[in-house]
Structure 1
Amino acid sequence: MKYSHKLIPILVFSLLSACGKEHAPPSTHKETAVKYEKSVILQGAVSNNSGLLKTGKITAKSLNGDVLAETILENSARYQLQVPAGSLWPVLLHYVPEKANDDNEKMLSVAIQPTTTKYDINPMTTAIAKQAKLLGGYTLSNLTRAAEERVHVPDANKTSTGFRGDPTTQYGGWH
């Protein structure tokens, strides 16, 4: 039987993707900064487990800690920052509360692509950023992997976590 050379990579990818993600080693890809020539406006909302936060400071920083832009939240949970042309990406979006006496209130989000301009900042984005850093740095693959590890879907039946009710009506019935 003859196989097309185009099918071999698909077969290899299929076999590799069947492997469990739990045992995958940390990515060896280190974060690499890329310079973009155009300025970018980043925006989003800031919240914690109690709701929207309407005071505090948002600072956009490069990986080496250079401050690219900053703004103060004034009676609004929405922020907007203009990252100047020539800035290195990814950009770290730091939130510091008005009364910064508790490190637990500081939060982080990683703006990885300038083509995506909406980046909320909350405890989940902070946890994803911390996990991506542990996986080897702020790369798209590490951020994606860290986000996937935060989603809670049972392996046994692939139903939504916490579903209560008749399973025959979930997702429109049995599939």
Structure 2
Amino acid sequence: MRKLKRSTSTAVIVATLAGTAALATAAPASAASYHCTTSSYTVDDPSYNGPDSDNWDLDVTLCAMRSGGYIYTNATVYWDGPYTAKNRNTYTFNNAKFQLQTKKSISGTDPVVKSAAYNGLEYALEHSSSHGNGSYSTGTLKHKAGSGSRYLADGYIQLDWSGDGKSYLKPILFTASPVV
């Protein structure tokens, strides 16, 4: 009888440990997380021809996540602008925006299923740090996911430079997020 109790106790302990191990390995797989891609682009201020540096190095991180039957997308823009950006501040742009897009991944051109323009980018760029650096995060777009469909985050920046006599220049494209 004593042998049976040990066997039963051992079996209960092993089953408990196995259950704990199963829960520990299942938790990370079920936790939703963003899948992101970062890409870069350098742009020259066409309205400035002075002796100082006038290039803006832009890094954009586009992210997508699937959770609870929805797709969530967002973006963050980081920049290293010219150190003189702080001095010129509100005279640098007439407008600047980040266009965030949630796209359905299909063969061929991915259609946009949700989109939003974030015009707060202009203020953020024009109020860079004293070294011309900064960042700007968009809001998060939420879209009901279709059954079996896959999605991604995409987006671009449009700049309307002050003093160049033009409106928005062609969109600055970045690499889309991984498909979720």
Structure with greater contact order relative to length (CA < 8 Å, sep ≥ 6): 2
Structure with bigger strand share is 2
The TM-score, its normalising length taken from structure 1, stands at 0.34
The TM-score, its normalising length taken from structure 2, stands at 0.33
